[in-house]
């Protein structure tokens, strides 16, 4: 449930701070390295285990956030393109047939007849 709420929040604010998820992933990677070093010392094995758990969650959150940033960016671009396509330009709509528009040379270089 908590992960679902996080994803809903990210989908709304991900475009404002994409660097946050990169930072979370970097912290997760650093925790993995420190946890690996802790496993070399028997007295630090428990701390190393917890660092691995924290690092796993950090990397998961970082990757999910990065995915949401990219999804949100694509959605915004698609919305903008749809908005631009819906705006009237004031220009007449040219109807084109399979032969192409009149006056434009065909692939073999011969001019097409006017309609």
Span 68-89, pLDDT tens digits: 878 888 888 888 887 777 666 5
The structure's pTM equals 0.54
Distance of CA 39 to the CA centre of its chain: 36
Token representation of residue 9? 């929040």
Burial class (CB in 10 A: 0-12, 13-18, 19+), 63: middle
Nearest residue to 21 via CA among 64, 78, 85: 64
Nearest residue to 61 via CA among 1, 115, 14, 7: 7
pLDDT tens, residue by residue, 25-66:
888 889 999 999 999 999 999 999 999 999 998 888 888 888
């Amino acid at each position: 449930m908590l992960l679902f709420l996080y994803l809903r929040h990210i989908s709304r604010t991900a475009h404002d701070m994409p660097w946050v998820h990169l930072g979370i992933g970097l912290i997760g990677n650093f925790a993995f390295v420190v946890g690996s070093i802790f496993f070399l010392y028997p007295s630090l094995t428990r701390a190393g285990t917890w660092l691995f758990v924290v690092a796993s969650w950090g990397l998961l959150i970082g990757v999910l956030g990065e995915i949401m940033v990219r999804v949100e960016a694509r959605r915004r671009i698609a919305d903008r393109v749809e908005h631009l396509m819906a705006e009237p330009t004031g220009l007449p709509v040219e109807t084109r047939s399979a032969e192409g528009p009149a006056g434009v040379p065909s692939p073999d270089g011969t001019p097409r007849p006017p309609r």
